[in-house]
Amino acid sequence: MSKLKTIQCVICKRDIEHKVHNGRVYWTQGNNAQPVADGRCCDRCDVGIVLRTRIREIQKEMRK
C-alpha cells in the first residue's frame, strides 16, 4: 500500500478527508484556501468560508 498523508485544514485544523472513488483514494489535498488562508482547507471550510469570501471579493470588484 502506498502511504497516504493526511493533511490538516489551515482554517479549522481538522484532518482533510480523503476523497474515495470505487474504494480508491484519488485526492488527499483538500481545497485551496486562498484568499482566506495560505494552504489547504477541507470541503466544509471551502464551501462555508472560502467560496463566500471569493464571491464577496468578486462583488466588490464589480462595484468599482
Interface contacts to Zn ion, rule CB under 5 A: 9, 11-12, 41-42, 45
For residues 53 and 43, the answer to whether their CB atoms sit within 8 Å is no
**Alpha-carbon distance values, 31 to 5, 24, 38 (Å):** 15, 19, 11
We find the least distance from the C-beta atom of residue 3 to Zn ion, in angstroms, to be: 23
We find the least distance from the C-beta atom of residue 23 to Zn ion, in angstroms, to be: 25
- In angstroms, the CA 32 to CA 45 distance is 10
We find the least distance from the C-beta atom of residue 45 to Zn ion, in angstroms, to be: 3
* Closer residue to Zn ion in complex, CB, 7/12: 12
